[in-house]
Every structure is written in structure tokens, then in C-alpha cells.
């Protein structure tokens, strides 16, 4: 029997008083499995969102060699980003499937943060599991942990100082890191008005979805299931959840 304790708590809306965000995720498709509709909402408000893919997802299609797959998946990501109003997609070309958390990865991500100077950084769940006990994947865990560190590295002029030339300065202006797909989300974004764009941006990963070989899998149905559940926690039709890491003290 359901008791009031079983009901997931309401989600706090994320702040929207910012202008620049940077999303750093491991693979093309990571933003599209839940967060893209929120991105469409923000770009629709005139905010700038930049995507950075740590890998090109080149090891993601069993029937396609990574050499060919890399360009297919980069093209799909650029298109799915365009659909939600993101014009800049960078690829760090780190090796898909075997990413390692450590100083080299932090260095790569720090350089991107220093160049784009975002107020908000978005990444994906880096806990061992998603909700419902589903195991997370090694690249996601490495990327998320490195993103949190890189946000702090970016503000310290004595960390990776070789990056500070040609006008690149330290950047300590990241206010918060928002983690999509986290089982500990306490914040959410109402995506009701931009839900269709989120669906279209996931559907743009056609070669990838075909390659998964999930029979009759429908991007809309998939996103609706999660979107509705999260929406209930905000009193709206559809929403997506984020865990917030406060970086800057805001009194
Ligand atoms: Zn992924």
C-alpha cells in the first residue's frame, strides 16, 4: 500500500536568471535521453547553451566500425543540438568506452570551461547507478566526476597554467553544476512546451537507435514515461529532473 512516505517529494524549479550554460557529457545522445527538452526551453528564452561531447560515441554501434561511426554520430549530434537551439557542438575526441577519470580528462574539460565562461555547467549522472537500480556506465562516471573538478580547476590560475595564453583567463564564474539523470534530483524544469523538440532531438540519433536493435522502441514513448513521472513532482504535464551542485556561495 502506498503511504505518504512513498510519494517522491516535489521538485524545486531551477533558476533561470542566467545567460550562458555549457553541457559536458560523455557521448552524443547523453543530453537527448532526458535533458534536451530543458535545453530547448532555455534557448527559447534567449539563453546560450553550448554542447561539448567528450567522445564521439564511436564505439556505440556494434555493426559499424568506429572510424565510420565517429562521423555518423557527430553529424547526428550536431543535428539534434540544432533542433533544441544549440549552435555550437564541440568534440574532445577522447576514446569512447574507455574514458578514465583523472588529471588528463580534467585538463581537457577545464580548457573548454575557460574558453566558454559559462555560469551554469550541465552534465550527466555520475553515480554508480541510475534510479531503479540500473547500472551506470564507466564513461558517464568518469566524465561527471571530471566535470565537477574541472569547474574548480578553471578558476585557479595555478592549475593547468599552460592554458592561460592568447587571452584565455581563469574562469571562476560557474555558479552551479546541474546533473541530469541523477537519482538524487531535487530540482526540475517544466518541459511541457518544448517536449516535442526533445523527442525530435532524440529521434535525430537515427543510426544509433537503429543500431541498438531495440524492436519497436519509440523515442516519444520512452521520454513520455519519464517526463510524466517527473512532471507530477512539479504539477505539470512534463518535466525533467536535475541534481544541483552549488559551486559559488550565493547569499
Ligand atoms: Zn552515454
23-59, pLDDT tens digit by residue? 999 999 999 999 999 999 999 999 999 999 999 999 9
Q: How far is the CA of 199 from the centre of ligand 1 (A)?
A: 17
Please give the pLDDT value at position 3.
56
Q: How far is the CA of 58 from the centre of ligand 1 (A)?
A: 11
134-161, pLDDT tens digit by residue? 999 999 999 999 999 999 999 999 999 9
Report whether 84 contacts 37 (CB < 8 A). yes
Please give the pLDDT value at position 185.
96
Q: How far is the CA of 130 from the centre of ligand 1 (A)?
A: 12
83-106, pLDDT tens digit by residue? 999 999 999 999 999 999 999 999
Report whether 243 contacts 187 (CB < 8 A). yes
Please give the pLDDT value at position 23.
99
107-135, pLDDT tens digit by residue? 999 999 999 999 999 999 999 999 888 99
Q: How far is the CA of 134 from the centre of ligand 1 (A)?
A: 14
Q: In what side-by-side order are the strands of the sheet with 20-25?
A: 12-13, 187-190, 239-246, 176-180, 120-124, 20-25, 48-53, 89-91
Please give the pLDDT value at position 6.
67
Please give the pLDDT value at position 251.
57
Is residue 5 very low, low, confident or very high in pLDDT (cuts 50, 70, 90)? low
Mean per-residue pLDDT for 190-207? 97
Nearest CA to 201 out of 54, 34, 20 is that of 34
Residues 209/125/110/169 CA torsion (nearest 10 deg): 110
158-198, pLDDT tens digit by residue? 999 999 999 999 999 999 999 999 999 999 999 999 999 99
Mean per-residue pLDDT for 68-89? 98
| Residues less than 5 Å from ion ligand 1, measured at CB | 27, 30
- Pairing type for strands 239-246 and 176-180 reads antiparallel
Handedness of CA 72, 73, 74, 75 (dihedral sign): positive
Q: Cα 6–11–12 angle (5° rounding)?
A: 150
Please give the pLDDT value at position 44.
98
Nearest CA to 35 out of 195, 214, 193 is that of 195
Whose cell is 524545486? That residue is: 12
Average pLDDT score over the chain: 95
Amino acid at each position: 500500500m502506498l503511504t505518504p512516505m512513498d510519494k517522491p517529494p516535489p521538485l524545486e524549479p531551477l533558476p533561470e536568471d542566467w545567460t550562458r550554460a555549457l553541457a559536458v557529457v560523455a557521448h552524443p545522445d547523453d543530453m537527448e535521453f532526458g535533458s534536451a527538452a530543458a535545453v530547448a526551453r532555455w534557448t527559447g528564452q534567449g539563453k546560450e547553451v553550448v554542447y561539448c561531447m567528450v567522445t564521439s560515441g564511436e564505439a556505440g554501434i556494434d555493426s559499424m566500425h568506429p572510424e565510420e561511426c565517429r562521423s555518423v554520430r557527430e553529424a547526428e549530434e550536431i543535428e539534434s543540438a540544432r533542433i533544441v537551439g544549440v549552435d555550437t557542438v564541440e568534440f574532445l575526441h577522447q576514446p569512447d568506452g574507455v574514458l578514465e577519470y583523472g588529471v588528463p580528462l580534467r585538463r581537457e574539460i577545464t580548457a573548454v570551461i575557460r574558453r566558454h565562461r559559462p555560469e551554469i555547467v550541465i552534465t550527466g549522472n555520475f553515480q554508480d547507478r541510475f534510479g531503479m537500480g540500473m547500472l551506470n556506465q564507466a564513461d558517464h562516471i568518469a566524465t561527471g566526476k571530471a566535470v565537477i573538478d574541472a569547474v574548480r580547476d578553471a578558476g585557479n590560475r595555478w592549475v593547468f597554467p599552460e592554458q592561460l595564453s592568447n587571452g584565455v583567463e581563469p574562469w571562476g564564474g560557474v555558479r552551479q553544476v546541474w546533473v541530469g539523470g541523477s537519482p538524487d534530483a531535487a530540482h526540475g524544469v517544466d518541459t511541457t512546451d518544448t517536449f516535442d523538440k526533445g523527442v525530435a532531438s532524440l529521434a535525430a540519433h537515427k543510426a544509433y537507435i537503429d543500431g541498438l536493435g531495440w524492436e519497436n522502441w519509440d523515442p516519444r514513448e520512452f521520454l513520455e514515461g519519464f517526463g510524466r513521472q517527473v512532471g507530477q513532482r512539479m504539477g505539470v504535464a512534463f518535466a525533467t529532473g536535475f541534481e544541483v551542485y552549488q559551486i559559488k556561495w550565493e547569499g
